[in-house]
Amino acid sequence: MLRAFGAAALVGATILVAGCGGSSSSGESESQTAAGISTAPPPTPTACETKGGTLKILSAGDVDHIDPGQGYYSFTYEITRPTQRALLSAKPGTVELQPDLAAGMPQVSKDGKTVTVKIRQGVHFSPPVNREVTSADVKYAIERGFATSVANGYAAAYFGVIQGAPKTAPQFPEPISGIETPDPSTLVFHLTQPEAVFVTALSMPLTAPVPEDYAKQYDDQTLSTYGLHQVASGPYMIKSNAAGSINGVGYKPNRLIDLVRNPNWDSSTDYRLACADEVRFEEGFQDPTVVAKTILSGSADANGDIPPPPAELRSILSSSTESKELFFTPTGGARYIALNTTEPPFDNANARKAVAYVLDRNALRLTRGGAVDGTIATHFIDPSFGDKGFEQAGGTGFNPFPSPDFSGDVTKAKELMKAAGYADGMYTGPQVTVVADNVPPGSDTAKVVAADLAKIGIKSRIISVTHATMYTKYCNVPKNEPNICPNVGWLPDFHEPQAILDVPFNGKNIIPSNNSNWPLLNDPAINAAMDRAEKTLDPSKRYEQWGKIDQQVTETASAIPWLWEDYPTLFSSRVVPALMVDNEGAPDVDFMSVR
């Protein structure tokens, strides 16, 4: 276990792995890891080692949407961050927010219902727009997020609290009365009620400026094509032709995203270094082993969305000659086993708790890699949240379903099965349904779950489908919800505990399709506590409240967390490495430079 977290409460800690990995077979995981892996934050470059050159990032898939107002995926943010300036963004190497397009941190009124943001002067759009960015561009960017032509995935969740925000999505962007622009450098948000995470949400890419005069023609189509004609405000832009189109120029879907310098960018307005002249995101690499080897050979510089597989990590870490520029970053998210609380047998809390006891979380973690893959989770708020909820939830000490070495406690599980009404502690009902991935590591996780359930007599029928089908056809659809969804997990949008617990566990968020409350948990006490915490502006009180909620949710055993996952990022030795610690440790091309 990566013990540094609990003790030091490092916010956004990144673990540098140095020295040799664990030797083979057997032994206790805690000591092995402690001996094999040392932790240290990666140095954030403060100046470019060299200026110029080309960075090459390899990935398997493409961005979800090229439009920065639509993108809602960590790999997409690797491209959004260097090209688009949101109002706020994370300080390099941390998860703490700092002003980006904003000139200073937003001012919140005493009643929490008015938020004022000053916009930085001297920031210009890339060609063909070229003009200076104003507060109206941010206003339009948020307004377009509500339109069905843009269909942003989080606008309603975080910005629906703005006065006059549409309740039902209009087809095309419409003005929102609660966003005022008294002058070109001032933006005022009027909210219908205090919203604890509103300021934090101003770091989402939706707040990056979009020039209405230029973008309107593209947004007024059934599906906006602004993404293919986007203009940049950051140091880089996606390569475009004279008319501003990136389609087939700097953006070739599933093949290439090519970033070049934005000629209108002024480094004095930005915290970004932007050392390289060009950044190529090359896509379509399906074999993680090949990607790792290509990076090690220096033919590419970092992995984009395709992490090195455990075997490759082992060979890198046990080799004395190969590059050690391998970093592990907490994703901030937890993987968990969701139990359907609306149907037998898991509508019974004792039956759920029996499962929580019987699961071998150590074996579960081993299906995705061992200790190198993260910390065994005992509740939901990730250690990287530190004093923003993790400590308040009891840190690593809070573990309501303990067992030696996390390997499961069958005796205790049987006691709970008895309490659930099964005579000798063994389940006697019909088979339970499990919908799982059809490929490793997800399929292996399901196998471990099935083997553990068998220890308390629960026979499971595993339905194997692709990861996407698992969500879209089964686990996201309450009426098709199986008894167990073993391959689910939730990544927070930002480092606020609300972003971890609210959507996946608040009863009000259960929807007929695209549902993310997988256990279908609808506990009035928990719902009420969450609604209260959402409106608590005082951070220390709020984190206290979410810490309690985390404990309450965990104790229902409606979802059993087993991994606070770390994400490995490998860099070639020809570049100075830099990470987006707030974005699962993705390569931060703004700060990388060619050696």
Residue 207 is classified by DSSP as G
Radius of gyration of the chain (CA): 24
State which residue, 133 or 364, has the beta carbon closest to other proteins. 364
CA atoms within 13 A on the CB side of 18: 7
User: Per rule CB under 8 A, is residue 443 in the interface with other proteins?
Assistant: yes
Rounded Cα distance, 485 and 478, in Å: 12
**C-beta of 23: minimal distance to other proteins in Å?**
8
Q: Which of 32, 98, 399, 527 binds other proteins (CB under 8 A)?
A: 32
Whether the Cβ atoms of residue 410 and residue 425 lie closer than 8 Å to each other:
no
Whether the Cβ atoms of residue 200 and residue 542 lie closer than 8 Å to each other:
no
**C-beta of 326: minimal distance to other proteins in Å?**
12
The SS3 of residue 16 is: strand
User: Per rule CB under 8 A, is residue 92 in the interface with other proteins?
Assistant: no
Residue with tokens 């938020």: 115
State which residue, 179 or 371, has the beta carbon closest to other proteins. 371
**C-beta of 33: minimal distance to other proteins in Å?**
6
Rounded Cα distance, 73 and 205, in Å: 11
User: Per rule CB under 8 A, is residue 187 in the interface with other proteins?
Assistant: no
**C-beta of 396: minimal distance to other proteins in Å?**
18
CA proximity to 90, closest of 11, 150, 34: 11
Q: Which of 19, 429, 440, 539 binds other proteins (CB under 8 A)?
A: 440
Site string for other proteins, 393-412 (x = CB under 8 A): --------------x-----
Rounded Cα distance, 123 and 185, in Å: 11
Rounded Cα distance, 76 and 458, in Å: 41
In degrees and rounded to multiples of 5, residue 31 shows phi and psi of -70, -40
**C-beta of 56: minimal distance to other proteins in Å?**
24
CA atoms within 13 A on the CB side of 408: 23
User: Per rule CB under 8 A, is residue 2 in the interface with other proteins?
Assistant: no
Q: Which of 53, 68, 307, 309 binds other proteins (CB under 8 A)?
A: 309
State which residue, 25 or 268, has the beta carbon closest to other proteins. 25
User: Per rule CB under 8 A, is residue 362 in the interface with other proteins?
Assistant: yes
State which residue, 107 or 431, has the beta carbon closest to other proteins. 431
Residues in the chain: 595
Rounded Cα distance, 458 and 558, in Å: 17
User: Per rule CB under 8 A, is residue 367 in the interface with other proteins?
Assistant: yes
**C-beta of 461: minimal distance to other proteins in Å?**
8
Whether the Cβ atoms of residue 133 and residue 101 lie closer than 8 Å to each other:
yes
Rounded Cα distance, 252 and 256, in Å: 5
Q: Which amino acid is at 594?
A: V
CA atoms within 13 A on the CB side of 240: 23
Q: Which of 439, 511, 513, 514 binds other proteins (CB under 8 A)?
A: 439
User: Per rule CB under 8 A, is residue 310 in the interface with other proteins?
Assistant: yes
User: Per rule CB under 8 A, is residue 18 in the interface with other proteins?
Assistant: no
**C-beta of 430: minimal distance to other proteins in Å?**
12
State which residue, 223 or 439, has the beta carbon closest to other proteins. 439
Contact region with other proteins (CB under 8 A), list: 311-319, 339-347, 513-521, 528-536: 311-319
- Cα 495 off chain centre by: 10
Whether the Cβ atoms of residue 434 and residue 340 lie closer than 8 Å to each other:
no
Site string for other proteins, 454-473 (x = CB under 8 A): -------xxxxx--------
User: Per rule CB under 8 A, is residue 430 in the interface with other proteins?
Assistant: no
Contact region with other proteins (CB under 8 A), list: 97-105, 310-318, 326-334, 537-545: 310-318
User: Per rule CB under 8 A, is residue 27 in the interface with other proteins?
Assistant: yes
Rounded Cα distance, 568 and 331, in Å: 10
**C-beta of 535: minimal distance to other proteins in Å?**
42
Which residues contact other proteins (rule: CB under 8 A)?
Answer: 21-22, 24-29, 32-33, 36-37, 287, 289, 309-311, 313-315, 360, 362-363, 365-373, 407, 438-441, 443-444, 446-448, 450-451, 461-465
